[in-house]
Structure 1
Amino acid sequence: MASLENQQWLVILVIGVVMAITLSATGVEAQGKKTPATFIFGDSLVDVGNNNYIFTLAVADHKPYGIDRADKVPTGRFCNGKIIPDLVNDYLGTPYPLPVLAPEATGANLLHGVNYASAGAGILEDTGSIFIGRVTISQQFGYFQKTKQQIELIIGQPAADELIHNAIYSFTVGGNDFVNNYMAVTTSTSRKYTPSQYQDLLINNFHGQLKTAYGLGMRKFIVSNMGPIGCAPSVLSSKSQAGECVQEVNNYALGFNAALKPMLQSLQAELPGSIFIYANAFDIVRGIIADPLKYGFTEPVTTACCGAGQYNGIDGSCRTIGHLCPDRTKSVFWDAFHPTEKVNKICNDQFLHGGLDAISPMNVAQLLAM
């Protein structure tokens, strides 16, 4: 009799597990709505720890990174707290997608999405080589293909196709192609291309990558433009005279962004069923820097919270002891390259609910309501 009861409980347990996986895969909520999976591609702005699992100089697995997280643990995020993918999932009410290289990124954990982003990655394959290791965009796509296969094994191909088709795909990439490639003294890139030629090279390559992504089943894209890289403390430490943003470098970003938006529009017109959303990070962050007091930033806007040297822009990994601002909510930049959690929250709010000047042709909330 006990054996029969055990068998009955085993059947109930198996059914419960299958139902839980199916509900997670299809995104069913109590209200009957579907919450899409989120898949993130890009660089250190959205890396949640993939670089912890490779040999690289670009890593954020040490303190003071994560100092404002509830658990104070440095997870590999290049921030004092949450980055934009975290905030999006907070809004969705779904678990944070794991870094694809984490051992836990398997089974049912894949069904709410995966993060493939890697610090140092760029549009070009050789971008980030100065850090030695990074997961390039082509490698990120390779991992995504493996994720698709795993999801199909878990829930079957029809349900997997639906999950992939309805998911949201975020791309944040391009800054490294300038800061850690074109502008790097260890590369010859700037001697091979004028800024305009290099911009065209990036746009053409990114165009091909997004078409490849579409071919892999991706349909709903949120693509961030390049932020004001000429205002980053790392750039200021070598190029700024008095702490002002370096317009020449910001012009690199502006030129790229001016070509990116129409490129996304042309892709949407060309690729049936696709949606390409352009997130205007440049103007949002530039607006914060132009009027910091409006947002409660009282520290010098172009000085990083942690680091060393002028503007704290030399120690890009914040390993220098004793250089840490006491209140991160007063600073725009966390380290030599990356914004604080507070800036991420401002950007995320604009991406979720902002108007066409912040994100177009619709915001994320409108995309989710479709």
Structure 2
Amino acid sequence: MATKFGASSAFVLYFFFLTPASSSSSDVPLIFVLGGTSADNGNNNCLNTTAKYNVPFNGIDYRNSTPTGRASNGLILPDYVARRLNRTESPPPIICLIRSSDEYQRAILTEGGTLASASSGIFDTTGRPRFGEVLPLRTQVKFFGEVYEDLIDLQGRQAATSLIRRSLVLVSTGSIDIADQLDRPPISDSFFITAVIAQYVGLLRSLYAYEARKFAIVAPLLIGCNPNSFADNATGCNQRGTSLTLDFVESLATALRRLRVLYPNFQYSICNAPNFLLDVNANPGSFPACGIREVRDACCGNGTMPCRPTSTLCGNREQYLYWSQYQLTQEGSRILTAACFSNNLRYAAPINFYQLARTTT
């Protein structure tokens, strides 16, 4: 499967650095972020779940070394997407805000909001047996609908609809669903792919019904080729996990092309994180604009556990691709975001995130 997606280092390098300039905030008035651990910037802090990242060493490179709830030493991918759209960082976590509060209303009118929940997934049950109260994508979509209703109350239907249609909806989910499938051998992988993509597309259609039009889709991180995989298999990646992730992305791309035919105003870009991570894993030196050299080991911990205050911490964090057993470092998220905005169709298709932000609906 990996050979099918292969590309020469020269080709990858050339197109990776053809990265467009940032877009203006007028193109995208608001940003909404849905998904799992790679997208959550603090919602799980107030939920009854063990999947919390508001403890050191998380956040050691964030402002004042604050552990915000991001599963990273600093910023995560939505932060870098927001920066390229002329924001400071990703929109605030709003799940736990009181809807009538000034803080909530100010956020949804001027920034948008993060609805993501760490360790959640596309299926309603994903992550919940192990982690407790995590919010599945369906619940996040429901909250997005409530935000739309609140904007209607604040601005009127016409203005609220225009605002949502011009806003960017970033969705980064699916990794935990794939990881769970690897532990469920009675369910065939082909059945899993069919079911999870059907659920995913159905929820994207629900977002469309709430007037979302610009969808920035981040494919799942490379399950089967991360520090946790290397800890279990010192000789290389878990081939089944890698193939399952690539099959997920291929099936999702096919489904979204069909959705675009059904809904001509449905605009989307898929950032192919697995392709990018495969290339970085194979030859980190092909990306000289980043300092990453270590692609197998986790910077925090031994590759089998989340980062905690008692974990062993690496000293040269900017050289590590992975922060913990599954999650990227700040530097890893930065270069993956660059791939999402690049002109390389191997990493962003059918258009890139910059072009998506500039589209009119």
Same fold at TM > 0.5: yes
Q: Is the 8 A contact 2:56 2:309 kept in 1?
A: no
Letter in 2 for 1:218: A
Distance in 2 between the 1:294 and 1:125 partners? 39
TM-score, scaled relative to structure 2: 0.86
How far did residue 92 of structure 1 move?
1.6
How far did residue 108 of structure 1 move?
1.7
Please list, as runs of the form range in 1=range in 2, the aligned pairs for 1:1-370 lying within 5 A after superposition.
Answer: 33-94=26-87, 96-103=90-97, 106-111=104-109, 112-129=111-128, 130-179=130-179, 181-184=180-183, 189-191=184-186, 193-238=187-232, 240-242=233-235, 244-295=236-287, 296-299=291-294, 301-307=295-301, 312-316=302-306, 318-319=307-308, 321=310, 323-370=312-359
- 1:50-70 CA-to-partner distances (Å, cap 9, x unmatched) read 100101111100001011113
The secondary structure found in structure 2 opposite 1:339 is coil
Query: Rg larger in 1 or in 2?
Result: 1
Structure 1 unaligned regions, length at least 5: 1-30
Instruction: State the partner residue of 2:13.
Output: none
TM-score, scaled relative to structure 1: 0.84
Pair 231,108 (structure 1): closer, same or farther in 2 beyond 3 Å: same
Structure 2 unaligned regions, length at least 5: 1-23
How far did residue 176 of structure 1 move?
0.4
Distance in 1 between the 2:67 and 2:25 partners? 36
Instruction: State the partner residue of 1:9.
Output: none
Higher helix share: 1
Instruction: State the partner residue of 2:17.
Output: none
- 1:30-60 CA-to-partner distances (Å, cap 9, x unmatched) read x994433111111001111110010111110
Distance in 2 between the 1:322 and 1:204 partners? 39
How far did residue 102 of structure 1 move?
3.9
- 1:63-122 CA-to-partner distances (Å, cap 9, x unmatched) read 010111132100001111111111111122235311122437511211221111111111
Letter in 1 for 2:195: L
Letter in 1 for 2:278: R
How far did residue 361 of structure 1 move?
1.4
User: Which one is further off, 206-215 or 326-335?
Assistant: 206-215
Distance in 2 between the 1:368 and 1:221 partners? 9
- 1:147-197 CA-to-partner distances (Å, cap 9, x unmatched) read 112222222222111111111111111110021x2234xxxx432x11111
User: Which one is further off, 129-138 or 44-53?
Assistant: 129-138
- 1:199-234 CA-to-partner distances (Å, cap 9, x unmatched) read 111111112111112112111111122222111222
Distance in 1 between the 2:263 and 2:311 partners? 52
Q: Is the 8 A contact 2:41 2:68 kept in 1?
A: yes
* Percentage of pairs with the same residue: 28
Alignment RMSD, CA only?
A: 1.8
The secondary structure found in structure 1 opposite 2:71 is coil
How far did residue 269 of structure 1 move?
0.7
- How many residues align? The count is 326
